[in-house]
Amino acid sequence: MKYNRLGNHGIKLSALSLGSWLTFGKQITDDVAEKLMRRAYEAGINFFDNAEGYAGGDSERVMGHILKKTGWDRTTYIVSSKVFFGGELPNQYGLSRKHIFDACDGALKRLQVDYLDLYFCHRPDPETPISETVWAMNHLIAQGKVMYWGTSEWSAEEIMEAHQFAEKYRLIGPAMEQPQYNLLHRKRFEEEYAPLYKEYGMGTTIWSPLASGILSGKYNAGDFSDKTRMDMVSWLKDKNLSEEMLAPARQFADIAQEAGIRPAQLALAWCLKNENVSTVILGASKLEQLEENLKALEVVDQLDESLMKKLSTLGIS
């Protein structure tokens, strides 16, 4: 396993990590979840991603039970949570100081840990001043409940505002962003966020490296029967199961075949080639999926200049 610094920060994350969205506590059994985590850890993965909104908190409960059961040394793994989508009642969602504190305490209990290594603001909150959010995160850090805080799917402008406020009051700004990034969804990561990497040394923990399975090739033949993730999240289905996405995915499959690399491994390796990617979050519901995706590390060196040039023409957004 390769390990990368989180931007210019000292903490090191495995190049590949394991996420729990739409799987733990929902799509797979707890037994399968445990097998996935144990295999990932065995392979050198040290980062496990989660959020308060995943499966209504059940994802964190399942992961917490597994972490407790394994007895792994707490210094050997990194665990995250995200705050925003906590519930429907007032103060159960968003980024107010109250909800951030309540959500953090809830995540610690469900994950059965004393602190969160990474804590993300899952979405920007137009109803809460960014200053309030920055102060709240800094207080959690001061209390030892959070090591590093960051954002997820924030605009570069919003992230810069958080940094500028933090600098003004000598606080700690966001250390990382968790954006969607894959061959078909590139513009925000590569263009909008570019100043953030250089000016603030931000790290990234990217999600959807396979574009919700589109880049694995399983939908190229037009068979949408195996689309459990798509069915669970309507906006994923609407966005991805379209000719606009499937056409370049088919082109990608042809390039992968020509290169002699399995599509999923090539898509993951392409993400790993970007120096601004700290870790690529894998989503797996079967052990075989995880095993195949882990092999992406073995093909990174095969992505030479010629192959990268071919792949660079596929991005659409």
Active site residues: 54
Beta bridge pairs of residue 5? 12
CA atoms within 13 A on the CB side of 268: 26
Q: Which of 202, 83, 84 is nearest to 146 (CA)?
A: 83
Question: Among candidates 3, 104, 89, 14, which has minimal Cα distance to 52?
Answer: 104
Which positions ≥6 away from 217 have C-beta within 8 Å?
A: 249, 253, 256, 263, 264
Residue 43 and residue 35: Cα distance in Å, rounded?
12
- Give ∠ CA 161-167-173 in degrees, rounded to 5: 65
Q: Are the CB atoms for 149 and 116 separated by under 8 Å? A: no
Q: Rounded distance, CA 71 to CA 299, Å? A: 33
Instruction: Report how far apart, in Å, the C-alpha atoms of 45 and of each of 12, 77, 120, 162, 303 are.
Output: 11, 8, 20, 30, 22
Structure tokens given for 17: 């990590």
Q: Which two tokens stand for residue 123?
A: 């979405």
Task: Give the Cα separation of 13 and 2 in Å (integer).
Answer: 9
Two tokens, residue 109: 């209990």
